[in-house]
Structures are given as C-alpha cells and as structure tokens.
C-alpha cells in the first residue's frame, strides 16, 4: 500500500506538539488526549515509513492539529509573520536602494559554490554528528578538506553508519559525475524561472502557480509538500503555510532564498522582501526569517564587500531582535568568534539546540551556517567544510554557506579545483528545461534578471 510521508495527520501530531512547545503555545492538554487515544507523542522522523492508523485515530489527529493551530502563542508579538510587522520590529531595517552590481563571473561562482557545498553534505545528510566525524576520520578527512569517500572506511563502520543511500551513489568522491539533482538546487532554479516569468514584483500566488506548473509533487518534502497538498485542496496562501503544517519553521524557505539575494546586489531590503513573498507560501515566523536573513546576507555580499562579518550583521537587520532566530544566530556568531576549535563550537550548538529541535529546523541550522561563515572568515573551503561538519541538515547548510562564501570569492577561478572540477559544469534537475544546464549558463540567466529594471 502506497502512503505518502509528511502528509498523514497521525504522523504530524507529534511534530505539531513539538512546534507548539517551541513557539509559545501550551499543548499539554491536547497531548494528553492524544496519548489517551493511543497516539504517539514523540514525532515520527520525517521521511520514516509511516504506520497505518485506525480511522478514529486519523480523524482525531485532524481535529487535534486544528486545535493546536488555534492555541494562543505567548511569542506572537515578538515573532510576527506579515512583512509590515516584521519591518516595524526591526529598528535597523536597511534602507532601500542598490549599492552594487554583480558580474556573470561572480554569479557563476555563487552557483558553483552552492552546488559544491550541497554535494559535500549529501552523503551524510540525516547522519548523527558522531557518525559524520567517524566516517570522515576513517579516511583521514577530518577536519573536512575534501568530498567524502567510502574508500578506506572499515566495513563495520559503514554498517553502523550507512551513507545516505539515496545520494551516496552520486555524491561520494569516487562517484561524482556532474552535479546530481537535489532540492537545494531545484528551488533556486524555480526562483530563477519565477523571476523570468513575473519579474521582481511576483506575488506569493505566482510562486504557488509556478510550483503547480513546474515542480513535481514527489520532489517536495516537509513544509513544501504540505503547502503543495494545501494548494491542491483549494487553500490559498498564506494559509497554505499554517494549515496542518508543523514544518512551517523548518529550513525549506531558507534554501529558496539565494536567487533573491543574487538579483538584489546591495539592496538587502528588497532581497528580504522577495524572500518573504516566497517563504510565506510554506513557512511562518522563524522559518520566514531564516530566508530573509539569508537573502539579505547574500545581497550584502553581492556588493563585492569581502567582510563576511559585516554581511552577517546586515542579514540580522531584517530579523526581529526578540525572535528565537535572532538570538540563536547571535549566540552562534559569538561562539564562533570566541573559540579557535570549531568542533567545540559545534558541540556547544548541539548542546543548546539538539534536544529541542528537529535536525531540519531553521533555528539551529541557520545558527550553524552563521557560525561556519564566521569561524572560516568567509573562506570558501573553510565555510562549506565547517557547515557540513556541524551536522543537522548537512547538504542544505553546505549549499547556503557555499553560495555566500563563493560570492565573496568573486570568480569561479577563486574556488579550488577539487570542489568545482567534478561538477563538470552540468546540473541535473527535474525543473522545467534546466536538466543538464551549465553553471555558466545559469549565471548569465541570473545576471539578466539582476539587471532587469
């Protein structure tokens, strides 16, 4: 029997209970009713094989998901989702207006950097931190300096910590033959297509229609899959982000943000605004802030300013200062600036967030990206290796760190060959007509959108 993951109500209640506890709601009474009916309070791991529920349990799950969504939040005033209230909460919101222009070479570097960072993290996505360290150390690749390999890894270690089976066949060093398909690259392609069709004044409804037209449902995950389902049920954005969607503060909107920064060089306010219109199809509050932070950071980096610390500070100007994401990112940056050993930084981040947040949640992952960029001082290899070595959503974190750091580097030639040569200037994708497209072509298409009046 075929059952899609991330959409069954009984599989979502545990995640919604955890989300409620994090965003200031009081879910204990709902949790007690769920337990009494035989439901699991601990969330199912996203992507795990779902269990078959009784009709009664499924109907109860639907009711409880709606009840949980209606609970008042003590954090609502500090963590708004609509853009006017976000701007009002940000005292240092950046002024409108561009301050630079990107060359096609810089954009090609950014695309390549995103791909290489993603590829580095693909084999170890979903693995715990100790497994990542052990697998890399077994081949003399710790601290990370190169793509993962299975050559030399003891069989017992591979059996205990198997690679991500979905991606190891094309992301280990010995298997790489161009950039394989990944949602961390599919979404930037979709947003490039979005700008080509609608320009920078696109609406959230335009994003939704583009997804229905061009994004296969089977290539969506977590918050994106639930928003897609909601669209098919006739629910309009932004309610698509809230309706029975416990993943609305996870990392999905962040991985869609790069193009908004690339096409608004020197205008972090515009980049954040575009990212907001994109993100609110699927996410709320901190999930939206993560996308806005990333877009604004990239817009600042796109000016040619090589000071990663200044770029991150600019990114934080579009995040409400009393939000959980703001606190997590500033804490992570402080740790990275105060510790010479990045493993120590990672251990402290995991101690802070690991027990309370899912490994795909936006808060810990955005914090880790900021810590990696800070600790590496924006160096490309150092940034992607630190981002991936920190665990959690390894391919997404490597991709975002790679995009930012490669943009700072400025040209493809500034990126070490060991990262870019295996990509063979070829990207696989199921989006529109982009399958097999070269990164140089993508750079020119992106440059055209950045230059559009």
- 50-60 pLDDT, tens per residue? 566 788 999 99
Residue 93 lies in a domain: yes
- 412-422 pLDDT, tens per residue? 999 999 999 99
In whole angstroms, what is the distance from residue 444 CA to residue 153 CA? 41
Are 195 and 263 in contact, with CB atoms under 8 Å apart?
yes
Q: pLDDT value at position 409?
A: 96
Number of domains present in the structure of the chain: 2
Residue 174 lies in a domain: no
In whole angstroms, what is the distance from residue 453 CA to residue 348 CA? 45
DSSP 79: S
Q: pLDDT value at position 50?
A: 55
User: Which CATH number covers residue 206?
Assistant: 1.10.4080.10
Question: pTM of the predicted model, to two decimals?
Answer: 0.96
Q: pLDDT value at position 216?
A: 93
Residue 164 lies in a domain: no
Are 338 and 251 in a shared domain? Answer: yes
Name the residue among 380, 427, 377 with its Cα closest to residue 400: 380
Q: pLDDT value at position 164?
A: 75
Are 26 and 114 in a shared domain? Answer: no
Are 62 and 97 in a shared domain? Answer: no
Q: pLDDT value at position 44?
A: 55
| pLDDT < 50: residue spans in the chain | 46-47
How far are the Cα atoms of 299, 378, 435 from residue 45, in angstroms, in the given order? 35, 33, 31
DSSP readout, 245-282?
A: -TTTTBSTTGGG-HHHHHTSTT-HHHHHHHHHHHHTTT
Residue 108 lies in a domain: yes
Q: pLDDT value at position 54?
A: 87
Are 370 and 345 in a shared domain? Answer: yes
Are 407 and 108 in contact, with CB atoms under 8 Å apart?
no
In whole angstroms, what is the distance from residue 76 CA to residue 80 CA? 6
* Domain assignment of residue 398, given as a range: 83-118+180-450
Which residue stretches of 166-267 are H helix? 168-171, 183-198, 204-214, 222-232, 258-262
Residue 65 lies in a domain: yes
Q: pLDDT value at position 51?
A: 63
Name the residue among 80, 36, 71 with its Cα closest to residue 322: 80
Please list the residues that pair with 361 across neighbouring strands.
250
Name the phi and psi angles at 250, rounded to 5.
-85, -170
Q: pLDDT value at position 167?
A: 72
Are 227 and 99 in a shared domain? Answer: yes
Q: pLDDT value at position 169?
A: 83
Residue 125 lies in a domain: no
Name the residue among 43, 186, 239 with its Cα closest to residue 229: 239
Residue 171 lies in a domain: no
Residue 21 lies in a domain: yes
């Amino acid at each position: 029997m075929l059952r899609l993951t991330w959409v069954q109500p009984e599989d979502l209640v545990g995640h919604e209970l955890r989300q409620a506890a994090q965003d200031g709601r009081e879910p204990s009474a709902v949790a007690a009713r769920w337990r009494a009916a035989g439901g699991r309070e601990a969330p199912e791991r996203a992507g795990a094989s779902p269990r078959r529920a009784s009709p009664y349990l499924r109907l109860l799950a639907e009711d409880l998901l709606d009840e949980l969504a209606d609970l008042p939040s003590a954090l609502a005033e500090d963590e708004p989702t609509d853009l006017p209230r976000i701007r009002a909460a940000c005292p240092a919101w950046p002024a409108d207006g561009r301050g630079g222009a990107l060359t096609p070479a810089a954009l090609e570097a950014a695309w390549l950097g995103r791909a290489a960072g993603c590829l580095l993290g693909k084999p170890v996505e979903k693995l715990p931190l100790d497994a990542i360290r052990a697998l890399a150390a077994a081949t003399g690749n710790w601290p990370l300096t190169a793509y993962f390999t299975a050559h030399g890894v003891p069989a017992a270690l591979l059996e205990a910590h198997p690679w991500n089976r979905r991606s190891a066949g094309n992301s280990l060093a010995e298997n790489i033959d161009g950039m394989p398909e990944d949602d961390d690259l599919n979404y930037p392609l979709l947003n490039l297509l979005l700008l080509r069709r609608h320009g920078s004044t696109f609406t959230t409804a335009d994003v939704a229609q583009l997804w229905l037209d061009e994004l296969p449902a089977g290539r969506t995950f977590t918050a994106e899959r639930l928003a897609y389902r909601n669209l098919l049920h006739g629910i309009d954005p932004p309610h698509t982000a809230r309706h029975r969607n416990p993943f609305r503060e996870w990392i999905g909107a962040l991985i869609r943000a790069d193009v908004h920064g690339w096409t608004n060089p020197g205008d972090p306010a515009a980049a954040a605004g575009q990212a907001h219109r994109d993100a609110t199809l699927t996410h709320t509050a901190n999930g939206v802030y993560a996308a806005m932070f990333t877009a604004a950071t990239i817009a600042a980096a796109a000016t040619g300013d090589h000071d990663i610390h200044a770029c991150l500070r600019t990114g934080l100007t579009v995040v409400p200062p009393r939000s959980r994401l703001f606190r997590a990112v500033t804490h992570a940056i402080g740790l990275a600036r105060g510790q010479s050993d990045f493993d120590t930084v990672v251990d402290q981040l995991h101690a802070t967030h690991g027990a309370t947040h899912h490994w795909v949640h936006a808060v810990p992952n955005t914090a880790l990206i900021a810590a990696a960029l800070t600790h590496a001082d924006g160096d490309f290899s150092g940034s992607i290796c630190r981002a991936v070595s920190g665990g959690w959503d390894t391919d997404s974190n490597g991709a975002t760190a790679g995009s930012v750091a490669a943009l700072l580097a400025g040209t493809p030639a500034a990126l070490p060959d060991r990262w870019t040569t295996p990509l063979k200037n070829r990207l696989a994708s199921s989006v529109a007509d982009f399958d097999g497209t070269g990164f140089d072509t993508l750079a020119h298409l992106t440059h055209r959108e950045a230059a559009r009046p």
